[in-house]
Amino acid sequence: MMLNLLALNVGFRMGGKASLSGKGVWLAALGILSPGLAMGCACGCGVFEVGTSAMFPEGTGGMVFNTFAYQNQDQNWGGNSQRPSIYNPDKNIATAFQSVGLQYMFNRSWGVEAELPWAYRSFSTISSLTGRQVNMKWWSLGDIRLHGLYTGFSEDLSSGIDFGLKLPTGNFNQEDPGNDIDRDTQIGTGSTDVLLGGFHRGNLSDHFRLDWFFQEESDLPVMTQGNYRPGFEWDGALGMNYRGFRIGSANVAPIAQILFSERTRDFGSDANSPNSGFTRLLVSPGLEIHMHPFDLYADVEVPVVQHFNGYQLVAPVAFKVNLSYMF
């Protein structure tokens, strides 16, 4: 299962602007079953941890935020193309996410970020007991993410890194009579993951107010539970934005991005390794509107090249919106 998601991020942001906040997008912090096998699916939603400029630090201060996200996966893919749904007992996975968090920069170099998520999931699959389609719904706390932030490599704050942990706070043992909810369909992974990312931005043309940026984030599970180890995931964003438009007191910046996501196979007796892991490339046009103390960010993410091991559920498009408040 790949989670392309429809996302709405709503936040409140504290703190002053960095000296270059008007010059660009900040980027510090975006079963499945072959016949006869057990179900398995892989999240892959780490791509949404990159490329969300409104959530990244811009100098001393902080941000508290509230996030809503929704995803709907109803296409069965195998290899490089969509495949008949008969090869996959899972028919649909829809998830609504909610999260609250805090980001705070103690100075121009160091900061922290914490996010507390939870999720409501609807899952439709062919029951292994009755052979008929069953529909299940449940909600759970998600996996908490904790980050340290460092942006002190240069005077203009153009480069930085983030590092931290994803904690196993989400439910990963939701039960059902037919045992049809496998580990990859659970809301939590049950693993403690090391998170490491970085970013850089630069100016392409000061005269035309055109900037570029790059961000990456890696997610490596290091401690696992219940005979299931999720795959290693790497996500990156490369893009540019134009900051020359104004509508009244609002600064409007169109954004163009390319997103890349790679995830290795899952392992363990509770995993379905043949039907996990993927590579995908997405295009993502977006828009950021800044009207101090508010920032509004939105984008659409469309896969253009993707390869999935085995058979996995995917969604054809993703949307993301972020509203933040600074003081």
User: What is the CATH classification number for the domain harbouring 221?
Assistant: 2.40.128.130
Q: By residue range, what is the domain housing residue 48?
A: 6-325
CA gap 205, 216 in Å, rounded:
23
pLDDT tens digits, 261-309:
999 999 999 999 999 999 999 999 999 999 988 888 888 888 999 999 9
Lowest mean pLDDT among 118-122, 231-235, 252-256, 317-321: 317-321
The verdict on residue 96 lying in a domain is yes
Q: Is residue 127 part of a domain?
A: yes
Question: What's the chain's average pLDDT?
Answer: 83
Q: For residue 75, is it within any domain?
A: yes
- Residue 304 CA to residue 307 CA, distance in Å, equals 10
Residue 141 vs residue 5, higher pLDDT: 141
pLDDT of residue 193: 98
Residue 135 pLDDT more than 50? yes
Of all residues in the chain, what percent carry a pLDDT higher than 90? 54
Encoded amino acid at 209, one letter: R
Alpha-carbon distance of 140 to 88, in angstroms, equals 25
What pTM did the predictor assign? 0.84
Domain for residue 83, yes or no?
yes
Q: Does a structural domain hold residue 1?
A: no
Per the CB < 8 A criterion, the answer to whether 290 and 263 are in contact is no
Number of domains in the chain: 1
Q: Is residue 320 part of a domain?
A: yes
Residue 254 lies in a domain: yes
